[in-house]
Amino acid sequence: MDLSRARAYCDSRTGLWIIRGVFCVVLVMSMVMLFSPASDVPSGFPLNDKVVHSLLFFALGLTAWVARLASTVTTFRALIVYAGVSEILQAWLPIGRYGSLADFAADIAGLLLALLVVWLVGHIASAEHREETQ
């Protein structure tokens, strides 16, 4: 897998703006999904909600990391805080929703999965760099 072309694009000014735009879209989408009134939230089987939370925070983690808004540690700490605050606000705001530790755990699971992808990409990129320099 050749990551050098993808990295070069991400390093370009245009690429960085596009990636940051994608992150903003995902962030706004998360806000709409997390803070919509309960009556607007589709109902399904109970696991579905946890899968949605995990996928949402996976997308947030991955796009935030690629957008390089801050260091990896700072990015993921901020997203953990966002996950916790979103659950507190769901319980506090008059939108007919409630905060859930299970939802928070699903958010963290999505972030951990994103961190795994970040680690794998870094590992592959390091291996490619070692091969190029030999």
Q: What is the pLDDT of residues 77-99, one digit of tens each?
A: 999 999 999 999 999 999 988 89
Q: Which tokens sit at 82? A: 């966002």
Pairwise CA distance, residues 41 & 30, whole Å: 13
**What's the pTM value of the predicted model, to 2 decimals?**
0.84
Q: Are 121 and 2 in contact (CB under 8 A)?
A: no
Domain of 72, in residue numbers: 4-133
Please state the domain count of the chain. 1
The token pair at 89 is 């606000």
pLDDT in tens, 23-81: 999 999 999 999 999 887 776 666 688 999 999 999 999 999 999 989 999 999 999 99
